[in-house]
Amino acid sequence: GSNIPNEPVNLTGIAGRFQAFRQILPRFTGDIQIISGGPVIASAAPYEIFATPGSITFSWETEEPGHSEVRYGITPDFELGKVIDETPKTTHTIVIEDLDPATVYKVQLRSAIGTDTSTTAKYITSTASPAGTTGEIRVYFSKSVDNGLATYQEAVSNENFSNRLISYIEAAEETAVFAFYSISGGVGDQIANKIIEAHQRGVDVRVIASGHTGNPNAVINKLSNAGVRATLSLGNEQQHNKFAVIDAHHQDPTKSWLITSSWNATDDGTFNQFQNMVNIQDVALARAYQLEFNQMWGAESGSFNAANARFSENKVVVNPSAFWIGEDHTQVRLYFSPQAGTESQIIRALATATSTIDLGLNLITRRSISNTMLSRFNDGVKVRGVIGQISGQGSEWDYLSSWADVHHFSQAEFGLLHHKYAIIDGENTNDNTKVITGSHNWSNNANVFNDENTLIIYNGRVANEFLQEFAARYTQAGGQDVFTAVSIAENGDELPGSVSLGQNYPNPFNPATNIRFELNSEHTITLSVFDIMGRRVATLADNRGYSAGEHTLTFDASSLSSGVYIYQLRLDNGQTFSRKMMLVK
């Protein structure tokens, strides 16, 4: 874990009472800011705003002007040095360059006035994946979807997840690690046979299954008897992950795959339940998952090391949380439970919703999450959902159903709804559109005790595919609302009969760039620029009328700091188009 500071700190957290005492619960290490008389750092992690294979850009704010400094290294000693900007400012941007691709670095941000310095806790970050990595994101669903809502591509439905996982096992060449919650039955036996075949052809395979789904476990015994390194998790809590990492350190960057899902590798989980699976071809993300696996394994390779293995509350944060994937730089956030305070990250994501929140949940027992959605609902955000379990201890069903458009997805009538996802602003996709998914049920056990993983994927296509699944479940459960999916062309392609917003040029830029848009008829438009925190920093056109045709406006960012910015075109009919650009000074 992180060392407890022995200096005065500013502490942000949830205040409450524990028995006879008051307590403050920080959400993550970024909530602990060392004061030391320096300018107070007002930003929270993650501090990265962009990463390339050879660089990482950091941005943070202080309450008073100070210098900007980032110390960095492969180790917590920051042995690679530091990058400093001595100009006093309250908005800070530092770019660390000449780094290695898909590599984890330890960093610390610092701002000072004279000899008085404020610092963040030591922080873990990563460069982007090497050239050649595709960044492909494949989404699969085990049951039907509503392809009528497809705006980018039709979601894959009725997928056999066992066969899908096996296809990756068969493709493995060097390494494969698997974290199963439950693996059993004919499905488990079939997967075990393919894992054994991989082992026999020289793939270094390691397998963990939860000790809470049966001890002994027939599949783990079968694997062990065949010479595969396989074990059950230790401790009193559930190892609830369902992920696999294939060839994380292969010399060919196209070989590295992450497979994560809500799916348990059982007969019931495969054939009868409602599940989702997300597979991502990205080296940096695959390696981050393997770091977490290694922590539970107690070693980076070889045999299971029970003495060093960490599960549940014994785990520490060992992985970066922010990634930029593929040619379109899709932002992905990764959080492992319980060490990352995942619930607080879910709340932060939900709080950004501007139009819709759509929930596909096995269960929800957390009032803090419900209240966040209620706050957005009160501001006009539509909250819809399907929930599988509604009568368990602490269920939020009664509370949510008193104001939200939520529906019980009856297991007796339909089968078990095993999803753990939310879609934010999924109908009218923009740069705020995102999907929360993974193994993490929205419960106290998942947040505080279980080993879980959660991805937040900022991608309109992925969100639309999840929306196709959600609409099918929502309608199946009796929902009456009408869905109107609108595609905002993230790749800049013109939508038929509509409007196109082009990529700015040049990009990256300093200090000025051109923004081109095309209208198919006369419109009143607003063209705004936002920083990565969602704050408007410029308005290039404010309710101004433009004729049909191509138009170009120039954006001068002389007064702004380096970083990623978002420009948004809003039409008088409510349509919005958004794209990203990079200012590098």
Q: For the residues 559-575, what does the mean pLDDT come to?
A: 85
Q: Alpha-carbon distance 38 to 42, whole Å?
A: 12
pLDDT digits 0-9 by tens, 534-566: 688 999 999 899 988 889 999 999 999 888 888
pLDDT digits 0-9 by tens, 83-140: 999 999 988 889 999 999 999 999 999 999 888 889 999 999 999 999 999 999 999 9
| Residue spans per domain, the chain | 9-126, 137-325, 500-583
* Confidence at residue 403, expressed as pLDDT on a 0 to 100 scale: 98
pLDDT digits 0-9 by tens, 397-441: 999 999 999 999 999 999 999 999 999 999 988 778 999 999 999
Q: Alpha-carbon distance 225 to 192, whole Å?
A: 11
CATH class label, 500-583: mainly beta
pLDDT grade, residue 496 (50/70/90)? very low
pLDDT beyond 70 at 215: yes
CATH class label, 9-126: mainly beta
pLDDT grade, residue 5 (50/70/90)? low
* Domain range 137-325, its CATH number among 3.30.870.10, 3.30.450.70, 1.50.10.20, 3.30.70.1560: 3.30.870.10
* Shared fold status for 9-126 and 137-325: no
* Confidence at residue 491, expressed as pLDDT on a 0 to 100 scale: 38
Q: How is 483-537 classified by DSSP, letter by letter? A: P--B---TT-PPPTTS-EEPPPBSSSBSSEEEEEEEESS-EEEEEEEEETTS-EE
Q: Alpha-carbon distance 421 to 404, whole Å?
A: 17
**Alpha-carbon distances of 72 from 33, 41, 263, rounded to whole Å:** 18, 18, 38
**Residue recorded with tokens 């959605």:** 373
pLDDT beyond 60 at 224: yes
Percent of the chain residues past pLDDT 70, beyond the cut: 93
* Confidence at residue 585, expressed as pLDDT on a 0 to 100 scale: 78
Q: What's the pTM value of the predicted model, to 2 decimals?
A: 0.83
CA angle 21, 120, 15 (to 5 degrees): 20
pLDDT grade, residue 35 (50/70/90)? low
Q: For the residues 36-53, what does the mean pLDDT come to?
A: 84
**Alpha-carbon distances of 455 from 118, 141, 262, rounded to whole Å:** 31, 16, 12
Q: Alpha-carbon distance 207 to 217, whole Å?
A: 12
* Confidence at residue 43, expressed as pLDDT on a 0 to 100 scale: 85
Query: Taking each helix axis from N to C terminus, what angle separates 367-378 and 342-350, rounded to the nearest 10 degrees?
Result: 10
Query: 501 is written with which tokens?
Result: 């917003």
Query: 532 is written with which tokens?
Result: 């990565």
Query: 209 is written with which tokens?
Result: 């299954």
Q: Give bridge partners of residue 17 from the DSSP assignment.
A: 22
First to last CA, the chain: 35
DSSP single-letter state for residue 358: E
Mean pLDDT of the residues in the chain: 91
Least confident of 145-154, 197-206, 232-241, 412-421: 145-154
12 HSE (CA, 13 A, CB side): 16
pLDDT digits 0-9 by tens, 278-330: 999 999 999 999 999 999 999 999 999 999 999 999 999 999 999 999 988 89
Query: 224 is written with which tokens?
Result: 């062990």
Q: For the residues 185-192, what does the mean pLDDT come to?
A: 98
Least confident of 144-153, 170-179, 413-422, 439-448: 144-153
pLDDT beyond 70 at 18: no
**Alpha-carbon distances of 246 from 167, 170, 269, 286, rounded to whole Å:** 11, 10, 22, 8
Contact 206, 178 (CB under 8 A): yes
Q: Alpha-carbon distance 233 to 314, whole Å?
A: 13
3-state secondary structure of 200: helix
Q: Alpha-carbon distance 364 to 367, whole Å?
A: 9
Query: 430 is written with which tokens?
Result: 């923009």
Most confident segment among 466-480, 503-517, 530-544? 466-480
